[in-house]
Structure 1
């Protein structure tokens, strides 16, 4: 169909919006993923 969709979990957008070290940890965790793992992003947010 030629349409590409991007779905961003709310947990990820909230983590990135928080800024600072929390956002850096969440972004670094996400970059290693082939499929987004919400539990891993939440764990990265907590440190």
Structure 2
């Protein structure tokens, strides 16, 4: 399960980077992607303690 979550985290991180390049760091798309990444990282932290 942790491996699946890590893959989701990495995919979201790559998407956020791509969005920031194409839309700028403060665009709504990047902010939303960052929030998704934060949620995934928080979920991972809860699982690994």
Q: Of the two structures, which has the highest relative contact order with CA contacts closer than 8 Å and spacing of 6 or more?
A: 2
Scaled to the shorter chain, the TM-score interval is 0.3 to 0.5
| Larger relative helix fraction | 2
Q: TM-score, normalised by structure 1?
A: 0.41
- Tell me the TM-score normalised to structure 2 length: 0.39
